[in-house]
């Protein structure tokens, strides 16, 4: 309001004050000063000029609200804190750090978000450029040919409530079905932090226990087993791994996600029986690892039941 009044004085001052008697000019100036002072004394944002207000909901939901402020900034740098290794090669399972106990980190846009805010998707072959980005996540010894895989882009909602574009690689025979699942999650406003290709850098990285990438294809064995994982065929998707960790015995993956083993403490991004996520995958005939007894794989959905 101060800025508007300054513009008004700058553009209109000469036309309104010149030609008045001295007494009238003084009176007009006094009125303008009083109005400016009244505007300057108005309320200010409680968190500083321009800072978004943040609130805690008494009954948190697993979806994001229609309109929301960006997530609260926390002092956490992903991938910056290597974990000591266990004898099995995984990182040591440690208590969840306070900034991640109600995780709502901002999404980094790697692809342009949908322009109109509506769900958008593409399905195409794995091009040479995509193949190079995948790196060692696929090799000729994998149980599926590269020609049988498809590269998808799909819209998703971040924990900021905004629309983003993610990417997945899946088997060609389930590509359209997977797109339909993520369209349902987008409409349900289920939040996803990150959705990008698994690369050589991911496979070679030292465990840090704080990853949260929603991903599909990666040519690897099932955890703690020698047989191929359903991911190695492009027939499985892991959704929000940190909010929906894997557990077998004393192993928790991601290794810092132990706070999310408490499924009674409902927080955004958590998958529950009968929610939008499990219903969407069940609708295409996929099973949920959260229904297994041991291990319990809350992030995992597959077309093979494994």
pLDDT, tens only, 166-187: 999 999 999 999 999 999 999 9
- 49 part of a folded domain: no
Residue that wins the pLDDT comparison between 51 and 204:
204
Q: Say whether pLDDT at 25 is over 50.
A: no
What does the alpha-carbon distance between residue 260 and residue 249 come to, in Å, rounded to a whole number? Answer: 16
CA dist 136 → 111, 132, 139, 246, 301 (Å): 22, 9, 6, 23, 23
- 71 part of a folded domain: no
The reply to whether omega before 106 is within 30° of 0 (cis) is no
What does the alpha-carbon distance between residue 254 and residue 251 come to, in Å, rounded to a whole number? Answer: 9
- 103 part of a folded domain: no
Domain count, the chain: 1
pLDDT for 65: 54
pLDDT for 294: 86
Confidence tier at 222 by pLDDT (50, 70, 90): confident
Residue that wins the pLDDT comparison between 263 and 30:
263
Are the CB atoms for 57 and 65 separated by under 8 Å? no
Q: Taking the CA atoms of 302, 261, 160 and 275 in sequence, report the sign of the dihedral they define.
A: positive
What does the alpha-carbon distance between residue 292 and residue 305 come to, in Å, rounded to a whole number? Answer: 10
- 225 part of a folded domain: yes
Q: Say whether pLDDT at 15 is over 70.
A: no
- 61 part of a folded domain: no
What does the alpha-carbon distance between residue 57 and residue 188 come to, in Å, rounded to a whole number? Answer: 19
Are the CB atoms for 241 and 257 separated by under 8 Å? yes
Q: Say whether pLDDT at 57 is over 80.
A: no
Closest C-alpha among 306, 287, 289, 286 to residue 297: 289
Q: Which pTM does this prediction carry? A: 0.77
Q: Say whether pLDDT at 297 is over 60.
A: yes
- 36 part of a folded domain: no
Residue 220, domain extent: 113-302
- 139 part of a folded domain: yes
Please report, to the nearest 10 degrees, the dihedral formed by the alpha carbons of residues 32, 33, 37, 40 taken in order. 70
- 59 part of a folded domain: no
The backbone torsions φ and ψ at residue 152, rounded to the nearest 5 degrees and listed phi first, read -115, 145
Strands (E), the chain: 121-125, 149-157, 163-171, 236-238, 246-248, 251-253, 287-288, 296-297, 300-302
pLDDT for 217: 98
Are the CB atoms for 120 and 175 separated by under 8 Å? no
Residue that wins the pLDDT comparison between 194 and 21:
194
If you average pLDDT over residues 233-250, what whole number do you get? 97
pLDDT for 37: 39
What does the alpha-carbon distance between residue 306 and residue 292 come to, in Å, rounded to a whole number? Answer: 10
CA dist 216 → 171, 263, 303 (Å): 9, 24, 12
């Amino acid at each position: 309001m101060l800025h508007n009044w300054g513009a008004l004085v700058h553009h209109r001052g000469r036309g309104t004050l010149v030609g008045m008697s001295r007494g009238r000019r003084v009176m007009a100036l006094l009125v303008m000063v009083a109005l400016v002072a009244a505007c300057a004394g108005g309320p200010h944002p409680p968190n500083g000029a321009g800072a978004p207000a943040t609130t805690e909901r008494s009954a948190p939901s697993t979806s994001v609200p229609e309109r929301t402020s960006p997530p609260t900034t926390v002092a956490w740098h992903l991938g910056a804190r290597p974990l000591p290794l266990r004898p099995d090669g995984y990182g040591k399972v440690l208590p969840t750090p306070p900034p991640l106990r109600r995780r709502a980190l901002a999404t980094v846009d790697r692809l342009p978000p949908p322009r109109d805010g509506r769900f958008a998707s593409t399905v195409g072959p794995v091009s040479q450029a995509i193949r190079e980005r995948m790196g060692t996540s696929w090799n000729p010894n994998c149980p599926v040919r590269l020609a049988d895989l498809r590269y998808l882009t799909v819209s998703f909602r971040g924990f900021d409530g905004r629309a983003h574009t993610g990417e997945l690689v899946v088997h060609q025979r389930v590509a359209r079905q997977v797109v339909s699942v993520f369209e349902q999650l987008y409409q349900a406003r289920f939040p996803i932090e990150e959705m990008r290709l698994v690369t050589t850098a991911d496979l070679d990285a030292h465990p840090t226990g704080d990853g949260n990438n929603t991903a599909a294809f990666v040519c690897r064995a099932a955890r703690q087993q020698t047989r191929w994982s359903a991911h190695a065929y492009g027939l499985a998707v892991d959704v929000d791994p940190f909010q929906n960790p894997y557990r077998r015995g004393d192993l928790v993956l991601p290794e810092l996600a132990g706070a999310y083993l408490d499924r009674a403490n409902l927080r955004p991004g958590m998958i529950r029986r009968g929610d939008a996520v499990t219903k969407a995958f069940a609708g295409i005939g996929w099973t949920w690892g959260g229904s297994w007894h041991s291990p319990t794989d809350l992030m995992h959905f597959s077309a093979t039941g494994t």
